Amino acid sequence: MSIFSIMFMYINLGLEHIITGYDHLLFLLALIIISKKFTDVLKIITAFTIAHSITLTLAALELIPVFPKWIEAGIALTIAYVAMENFFVKTSKWRWALTFAFGLIHGLGFATAISEIGFDQTYTALSLLSFNVGIEVGQLLVVALVLPFLLKLQSNEKYYRPFFYSTSACIFAVATIWFFQRLFV
């Protein structure tokens, strides 16, 4: 395989992992639904990217161990926590710090995904980087599609409050179910 075909393949795999990864999509929504400014969303996405890139790389290179059952249950807990926090925190000003910590856990989940796929041993760094680029492109696409809607909805408090609370409650419920399924099933 050529370098470009490897890059393209792993970018597509990363993109596919995000687009079909409902847990990651709900996590992203739970994180940004509270944000009222684009700069807050940018900090959140950047913190998540840096954190998950660190653990994805370390785990994919087998420098730290990965326990998929525990990681997947941990990912569900991070989603449930952020959704619950939405009921109590009124600003996303410091959410980037929480996102960084939780991003470390999600990076281990990404590492599990790439280990199931496998990556090209000849171009390990390129495969890993390309997979990560695909994840980032997917996240940016989701944010680009969802954020304008959220910001527009926030301008109408009558509709935003019920949407915000019901969405956070649904995300919490789904994540809690995932936690028990992933841990005990």
pLDDT in tens, 31-42: 999 998 889 999
Cβ atoms of 76 and 178 within 8 Å: the answer is: yes
Closest CA to 93 of 44, 142, 127, 137: 44
- Going by pLDDT thresholds of 50, 70 and 90, the confidence category of residue 118 is confident
d(CA 17, CA 34): 25
d(CA 98, CA 178): 21
Structural domains in the chain (count) = 1
Chain mean pLDDT for the chain: 92
Q: Is the pLDDT reported for residue 113 higher than 90?
A: no
pLDDT in tens, 121-150: 788 889 889 999 999 999 999 999 999 999
The per-residue pLDDT for 9 is 92
Using CA atoms, how far residue 168 sits from 29, 82, 88, 179, in Å, is 9, 9, 11, 16
d(CA 117, CA 40): 33
pLDDT in tens, 141-182: 999 999 999 999 999 889 999 999 999 999 999 999 999 999
Q: Is the pLDDT reported for residue 86 higher than 90?
A: yes
Q: Is the pLDDT reported for residue 117 higher than 80?
A: no
Cβ atoms of 106 and 24 within 8 Å: the answer is: yes
59-82: average pLDDT: 95
The per-residue pLDDT for 130 is 93
Q: Is the pLDDT reported for residue 112 higher than 90?
A: no
104-122: average pLDDT: 84
- Going by pLDDT thresholds of 50, 70 and 90, the confidence category of residue 1 is confident
Indicate whether this model's pTM tops 0.85.
yes
Domain that holds residue 160: 3-184
The per-residue pLDDT for 175 is 98
The per-residue pLDDT for 135 is 92
